[in-house]
Structure 1
Amino acid sequence: MTTPTTIKRIAVLTSGGDAPGMNAAIRAVVRTATYHGIEVVGVRRGFQGLHQGDLRLLGPRDVANIIQRGGTMLLTARSHTWRTPEGRAAGAQHLREWNVDALVVIGGDGSFHGAHYLQQEHGIPVIGLPGTIDNDLYGTDHTIGYFTAVETALDAVDKLRDTAASHERIFVIEVMGRHAGHIALDVAVAGGAEEVFLPEDEKSLSDLMQVIHDSQARGKASSIIIVAEGYPGGGQGIADAITRDTGIDTRLTVLGHIQRGGSPVSSDRVLASRLGEGAVEALIAGKSNIMVGRTGGGLTYVPFEETWTKRKDVSRALYRCAKVLSI
C-alpha cells in the first residue's frame, strides 16, 4: 500500500554505463514533473557528482532537442566513494541542501544498489529506471538502450557478412553482454548466424566444430559466429579454437563500446519516455525503493532487491529458433 505524497522538487541522475535513450528518459522526467508543478534538479556525473554536490536546476527548455541524442546530457561515472556510508551521507546532505524530496536514478543493477542504500540509510524516496544495453534486469521486458545496441551490432554483422562471403572466411563477432546473452541472441537470429555463444549456456567446442563441418558439407563457404563477451574465453577463445582445430581462416571482431553510442532508435525513445513519465507519477503516488519497468505493454513496479536477486533468462524459444534456422 502506498500513500500519495506532496513532492515539490525531485532530482534525476544517470549512473553506470551510458545507454541510448537516457536523454529521452531525462526529458520525460523533467517535463512530467513540470506538468505536475514539480521542480527538477539535474545531478551531473551520477553518484560521484551527487557526492561532490554537482547539481543544477533543469526546466523544460533545458531538455529540448535531446530526445534524439545518444549518451547522457547529465554525464555519468562509476563512483567508488558512493559505496561507503560516508559517501552516501554526503550525497544525502547535498540533496537536503537543495530541498530535494525524491530522486530518480537511471542505470543498471549497480546503480540500483546505490539508490537502495540511499533510501534505506537516509529515508530519501528513490525510483529507478532500467538504463542498460544488456537487458539483464529482472522485472522489465526491455531496458533503455537495448534496442539501439542490437541494431548497432546487427548493422556491423551485416557488413562483416559481406566480407566473410567474399573471402570465404569465418567471422567470430563479440558483442556486449557480461552476464547476459540477450544482445547476442537477438543479433544471431536477425543476422543469420551459424552459431551463438551465451553466458547462460556454456557448450562444448566440439559442438561448434561439428556445426562448422556440417555447414561446409552443405556448401557454406563462410560463417558468422556471435559470442557474448561474458562467455568463458570470449570471442578470442572461440576464434583461437576454430583456427587450432580446423585451420580455417578465422577473423575476430570485437564490437565493444560502439554498441553504447549513436542516436536511439524509436523503440528506445518510446520506452524511455514512458518509463520517465511513470517514475514521476510513481513518486507522486508515494512509491519508493522500486524500479519502474514495462512488461507486456504495461508499467510494472519491482522492488530494487528483486532486480538483482532474481534472474532474467534469455528466451529459450528464440534460442531454439537460432539453432533451427542455422542449417
Structure 2
Amino acid sequence: MWDGIVIGGGFAGLIAGIRASERGKRILMIAEGTGSLSSSSGVFDIGPIPSLARLEKHPYSYLEPQNIQAAVEYFRSLLPEYEKCEGESSLVLTPLGSCRTADLMPMGLKAEALIQSKEIVLMAPEGMKDFFSRVVKENLEKEFPQSRVEIYPFQVSAFAPWQQVGKAVNGLEFARFWRTEEGIETLQKLLEALVRYIRNQKEAAVVFPGLSRVFNKPLQKLLAHFPCPIIEMTDIPPTFGGEILYDALKRKFKEFGGEIILGSGVRKVDIQGKNCFQVWVKSKGSDSNFQAKELVLATGGSSEGGSKRLRME
C-alpha cells in the first residue's frame, strides 16, 4: 500500500508529490499528461499577496499571506535558478516584443537591461515559426524609444534539411538545439560574430528568441562571457519554458523516490462514505487498482476546485 496517491501530473500534482516524497512518504502519481505546463511560459505572476488574499474567490483567499509567501520560497528552494523579484515586478518580453511584468521567472528573462541600452540587437533565426522580426522590432522601439533596434538575421545549418522539406521549426526546437553539443558550438561562433558586429558594447543589449539558459550550465557559462546582456523572450505554445519546468519538477519528484504512471487516466475511485479506499487506472488490458492511505486530487486547476486531499481507508 502506498502512503499517498496523487492524481494529476501538472504543476499542482508535482509540487504535492515532491512535498510528500521529501518527507519520506511513498508516493505514486497517476497522470494522463503534463497538464497545462507544456503551454505555460514558465513565468509566474504572484502579485501583491496581502491585497489579493482579501479578494473573494481568488485562490489566495483560501490561504494566509504568510503561507503563500512560504510556498514561493519553497518553490525557489527546489529550483534556485528561478529568480524572484524583490519589490516591484520585473519586465519580461512577450513573443511579440512587448513588455509584461512578472514576479518569478527562470533566469535570463529579466528585461530591465533594455531600459538603459542605447542599441538593441534583435536576433532573427531564419525559418523560426511564429516569429515576426519586424513586428518585434516595432514593439521594442515603442517600449524602449531611447534605443536603436537592429535586426540581426542568421541561419542554423542544422535545420536546413527541415526547411528544405517545408517542416516548420518552432521556438521549442531551437531551444532544444542550443542545449546540444552541436548547438553550443554553433552558438559560440554566432556570438563571436555578434561581438564584431556590435559597435558600442557598453550601451548595447541583445534580444534572443528561442533561447533558454535555465538548468543548463554550459549555456550559462557561454552567455556569461558575452560582453552585453542577452535577454531571452517567452514563446508561443508549445513552450520550452513550460517543458523545462515540467522536466525539472518531475526529476525532483523521482529523486525523492516518487513513482509516476504517465499516460493512464483514473477510471474510477471506490468510496465508502466520505473515505476513498481504492483507485482504478485505465489499462489496455485489464484495469489496475492501487490502494493508499491518502489521496490528493490535483486536476483542473484552481478554477475547477484545484488540489484536494482526501483520506483513504
- Same fold, TM-score > 0.5, yes or no: no
Give the structure with the higher percent helix.
1
